A and B are shown apart, each in its own frame.
Chain A
Amino acid sequence: MTAETPPNRKTVSDDDTELVQAINAGHTERFQELVRRYEQKLYNFGRRMCRNESDAEDLVQDTFLNVYRFLKDFRYETKFKNWLYRVAANTSLKRQRRSKFAPEPELSLEEFARNEEAELIETVPDWARMPLDQILNEELLETLNQAIWSLPEKYRIVVILRDVEEFSTEETAQILNLSPANVKVRLHRARLFLRDRLKGYFSHDL
């Protein structure tokens, strides 16, 4: 089956279109160029998704293998980058599902709200109002990375796509095949989880 675009279907053209079309037209030697263009982005996506570095590398490798296999099915209906992340996200979720048997925990908004009510902090903490350059250091970034890795994966992938990779809600919904409303729910809970970890870090630090 070919991936020709039927008439009247909206297509998206971006900086990758020429390269992807060339590869699909048979210039497979240019796949190398595509790998070089995206290896850093995917490597960092992998490092955020996987605690273990070799798992991250396997994820990147499997993603490029899948891209190579399925590129002919790309229909130019989204930015290529968004399609690439869709392949990466599917590859990641499949890999992680294979390695786990227990269902993942849900993050409950009610629980976050209960904790908030119990604490009822009526002053903005210093860490939340200081300029970023005054609080940023290696230890804090490591704490944040650890917190991201501690998130159940369905929340982790949403916060990585939205707040680290900076995709929009709509794009994230497309990449993950979720509704925008579902993306918003998961994102808010993931952010509250990370905020609690940061609160913990700063309260130990004081």
Chain B
Amino acid sequence: MTCKPHDYERCLELFGKLSEYIDREMDEAERRDLEAHVAECLACLSCLQSLKQTIALCKQIGRQPVPVVFSQKLQSMVQDLQRSR
């Protein structure tokens, strides 16, 4: 499956706006316009999907527990601060 022949200038223009689209920070007219383009353009769809997946992966980075030794170090630091007041 390939794209229908079309003006790639439009792709380049929309390329800079994909994050705004994903973050729902576009106005309605622009949004509809981008969706209509992506429905016809596999190159832009590919770009949009891989960007969405990148963001989804960033949200999965997860949280590491604080090392116990470091947590104790922070507590001693706070105690020192209070003593020095």
Contacts and interface: CB of A to CB of B under 8 A. Distances in A.
B20 interface: yes
Given A123-B46, A184-B19, A184-B20, A61 B74 contact: yes
Interface string B11-32: 1100110111001010000000
A141 B81 contact: no
Interface of A: 28-29, 31-32, 35, 39-41, 43-44, 47-48, 57, 60-61, 64-65, 68, 109, 112-113, 116-117, 120-125, 127-129, 132, 136, 140-141, 144-145, 148, 159, 163-164, 166, 169, 184, 187-188, 191-192, 194-195, 198-199
Given A35-B78, A64-B74, A125 B58 contact: no
B58 A159 contact: yes
A64 B66 CA distance: 15
B60 A192 contact: no
Contacts of A125: 46, 50
A123 B1 contact: yes
Interface of B: 1-3, 8, 11-12, 15-16, 18-20, 23, 25, 42-43, 45-47, 49-66, 70-71, 73-75, 77-79, 81-82, 85
B49 A121 contact: no
* Interface SS of chain A: helix
B66 to A, nearest CB: 5
Contacts of B55: 163, 191
B61 A141 contact: yes
B52 A128 contact: yes
Nearest to A122: B42
Contacts of B3: 122
Contacts of A191: 19, 51, 54-55
A131 to B, nearest CB: 10
B50 to A, nearest CB: 4
A132 B64 contact: no
A182 B51 CA distance: 19
A43 B66 contact: yes
B64 A44 contact: yes
